Amino acid sequence: MFAKILIANRGEIACRVIRTARKLGVRTVAVYSDADAKSLHVEMADEAVHIGASPVGESYLRGDKIIAAALATGAGAIHPGYGFLSENPDFVDQVVAAGLTFIGPSAASIRAMGLKDAAKRLMEKAGVPVVPGYHGEAQEIVLLASKAREIGYPVLIKARAGGGGKGMRRVEQPDDFSEALSGARREAKAAFGDDRVLVEKYVDKPRHIEVQVFGDVFGNVVHLYERDCSAQRRHQKVIEEAPAPGMTEALREAMTDAAVKAAKAINYSGAGTIEFIVDASQGLKADRFWFMEMNTRLQVEHPVTEMITGINLVEWQLRVASGERLPKAQSEITFAGHAFEARVYAEDAAKGFLPATGTLHHLKFPETSPDGATLRVETGVRAGDAVSPYYDPMIAKLVVHAKDRPTALEALGEVLARTEIAGSTVNTAFLAALAADPDFAAGDVDTGLIERHRETLTAVPPPDGEIVAAAALAASGAQAPPSDDPWSALAGYAHFHSVARRTHLSHGEIEIAARVTVRPDGRFGVTLEAPYESTNSHDFRAVPRCARWPGHITVFEGAVGYTFAVPDPLARSDEAQAGSGSLRAPMPGLVKLVRVAVGDAVTKGQPLLILEAMKMEHTIVAPHDGVIADIAMEGAQVTDGTVLVGFLEEPVA
């Protein structure tokens, strides 16, 4: 086993590798860019090396800097994670030339599967079924159009290099072929530097089912069963599961046998995934699946396989790369139960899943597993970390495992409902809606399901009165006693009537005003005013699930986070009182410090006193030039509306 390894990646996968390496007694070296200087994976590793500026081309794609860091720190091997350089055969060659071990397949294996057309020709020779289509070298438009007619429409034009749905076009009829080909080529050229394509039969109801394979340098290859990754948006996976719903024994046997053949055909060593497209229009049948491509690395969704098999795939990677044989033979590998993985992203589902950025001011995952299930959270961020525009906006992977699919799916919904994230737009509501979708729940899923149900899955109802009232309560600074907050100290006391506080907030373009009272029995009452009816009253025994962050309140209702903007009450007070003869307290609080005295001439903007409220100090400034006629005493406890400062009626010239 290696004494020390370098992890040429970041985020949750870097953290994942570090945890397993630590378990095996292997020291770790992290690499980081400017944007990741204070990231979790840097904190977790035994050592860390800065490799460049934030853009990936200046850091995580700089193989020379990564190899230099490994040599300088005495690491014996490099784990690539996924993405970045993980499937770059030239990088593998450079690692080996430097006398280091690449924790993954050989450069030859990666090259064999690197181009879709060549890989499919290789798979045909190995007896692995491939989608009917044209995978040749010639790229003349006349030839490609002719092949499309032979295959039969609809067809799919696909870039021969890369992945992620780039350079891909579905064509319904011959008249559309030329324009679709041009678009696919432009996109492929921009993304991969290669505009060559292949043309395949379009499968009407495609399922994306993949098989986890593992090989060693002694020629042994095993499979660890299948995963279903059909739930995709923009050709990218969002919820994966294992095993595949509706899988028959005949199809599983045929598919896993084909996957092992594919891996053996290229002398594969390490973790890999054989991806198949399955025609589910007539159910899952053993003669209706075809090889799509191979990912010559660890997959993002590998935890679902680990959960059902009990096998640590990263541990296997380290053992095999260090020269050990596969830890188990095929007959020793079994699976039990069902697992789901949901990818939590900073993205706006309602706006076409556009990536989002922001600071994760509040980040809270469930601390306990749902009844009858096991929860696993894979993340590379903490509360206070920023979602950078430079990298993939994944925040976490929520993984659940239970005895069967219905139980696991129910657990996934519960976990999503208990996850709290504030500071960036996230997709938890979309994931929860997908998990609850009747077709998905029934296992009737294909790669087009999300697009067909997109409007329903991405729709978020506006906040109802109860949610708005909860936000107003949170914005008021109310807390359940005991607390040293001046507002909380008022709970339970009322002289003739309940103490009240006015609060203002907004949701989108809607301006909201509310009045919050603390009743003698400790309950909170919230009356919504503008733009609601004054009779719209709500009672709370405690402050609901919410997060307060700079200038905002986020209220959590299930998997949905409703965010309200909260204006600075002091700024609002200053604006409202700029022309008046007095300054009133915008909220209950304690006069902490008085900086002027009666008779002092003051100028606009001059600090007059400090009011401590809601556990923060607020400086009260003069709204205009004038002379102090009256001012609150230092140490005085004041309520909402109490006069803090009075001015002489005639301001100083």
Residue 301's nearest CA partner among 13, 619, 629, 567 is: 13
Q: How far is CA 437 from CA 445, 453, 454, 502, in A?
A: 10, 9, 11, 41
What 515-519 contacts at long range (C-beta under 8 Å, 24+ apart), as own/partner pairs, is: 516/472, 516/473, 516/476, 516/478, 518/478, 518/487, 518/490, 518/491, 518/492, 518/494, 519/494
Query: What single DSSP character describes residue 570?
Result: H
Q: Which amino acid is at 298?
A: L
Of 590 and 481, the one with more pLDDT: 590
Q: Is the pLDDT of residue 535 over 80?
A: no
Q: Is the pLDDT of residue 494 over 60?
A: no
In degrees, to the nearest 5, what angle opens at C-alpha 305 toward C-alphas 304 and 308? 85
Q: Is the pLDDT of residue 201 over 90?
A: no
Q: What is the pLDDT, as a whole number, of residue 482?
A: 41
> What is the CA 501 to chain-centroid distance, rounded?
38
pLDDT band at 620 (very low <50, low <70, confident <90, very high): confident
Q: What is the pLDDT, as a whole number, of residue 289?
A: 94
Cβ atoms of 556 and 420 closer than 8 Å: yes
Burial of 25 (0-12, 13-18, 19+ CB in 10 A): exposed
Number of residues in the chain: 653
pLDDT digit string, tens, across residues 27-79: 999 999 999 999 999 999 999 999 999 999 999 999 999 999 999 999 999 99
Average pLDDT of every residue of the chain: 90
Cβ atoms of 96 and 102 closer than 8 Å: yes
Q: Is the pLDDT of residue 486 over 50?
A: no
Residue 620's nearest CA partner among 604, 609, 606, 628 is: 609
**b (16+ CB within 10 A) / e for 363-372:** bebbeebbee
Of 613 and 235, the one with more pLDDT: 235
Q: What is the pLDDT, as a whole number, of residue 578?
A: 55
Residue 460's nearest CA partner among 544, 555, 563, 560 is: 560
| 595 carries an active-site annotation | no
Q: Is the pLDDT of residue 89 over 90?
A: yes
- What are phi and psi for residue 316, nearest 5 degrees? -60, -40
Q: Is the pLDDT of residue 340 over 60?
A: yes
pLDDT band at 639 (very low <50, low <70, confident <90, very high): confident
> What is the CA 296 to chain-centroid distance, rounded?
24
Q: What is the pLDDT, as a whole number, of residue 579?
A: 56
pTM: 0.81
Min mean pLDDT across 250-259, 413-422, 580-589, 618-627 is at: 580-589
Q: Which amino acid is at 70?
A: A
**b (16+ CB within 10 A) / e for 286-312:** eebbbbbbbbbbbbbbbbbbbbbbebb
Q: What is the pLDDT, as a whole number, of residue 651?
A: 47
Q: What is the DSSP string of 221-279?
A: EEEEEEEEEEEEETTEEEEEEES-TT--HHHHHHHHHHHHHHHHHTT--EEEEEEEEEE
pLDDT band at 589 (very low <50, low <70, confident <90, very high): confident
CB within 8 A of 158, min separation 6: which ones?
A: 116, 167, 168, 184, 197, 198, 199, 200
Q: Which residues pair with 101 in a beta bridge?
A: 77
Min mean pLDDT across 69-73, 446-450, 474-478 is at: 474-478
Q: What is the pLDDT, as a whole number, of residue 161?
A: 82
Task: Give 435's Cβ-side CA count (13 Å radius).
Answer: 32
Cβ atoms of 225 and 302 closer than 8 Å: no
CA–CA separation, 219 and 282 (whole Å): 37
pLDDT band at 468 (very low <50, low <70, confident <90, very high): very high
SS3 sequence, 306-353? HHHHCCCHHHHHHHHHCCCCCCCCHHHCCCCCEEEEEEEECEEHHHCC
SS3 sequence, 108-140? HHHHHHHCHHHHHHHHHHCCCCECCEECCCCCC
pLDDT band at 166 (very low <50, low <70, confident <90, very high): confident
Min mean pLDDT across 184-188, 221-225, 273-277 is at: 184-188
CA–CA separation, 648 and 642 (whole Å): 18
Q: What is the pLDDT, as a whole number, of residue 501?
A: 81
Cβ atoms of 198 and 184 closer than 8 Å: no
**Inter-helix orientation angle 116-125/249-265, to 10°:** 110
Q: What is the pLDDT, as a whole number, of residue 595?
A: 92
CA–CA separation, 84 and 51 (whole Å): 14
Question: For the chain, how many helices (H) and strands (E)?
Answer: 19, 38
pLDDT digit string, tens, across residues 128-148: 998 888 888 899 999 999 999
Q: What is the pLDDT, as a whole number, of residue 492?
A: 42
Query: What single DSSP character describes residue 633?
Result: P
Please pick, among 227, 288, 297, 418, the residue that the annotation labels catalytic. Answer: 297
Helices of type H across 354-484: 405-417, 428-436, 438-441, 449-452, 454-458, 465-475
Q: What is the pLDDT, as a whole number, of residue 3?
A: 97
What mean pLDDT comes out for the span 182-199? 89
CA–CA separation, 194 and 186 (whole Å): 9
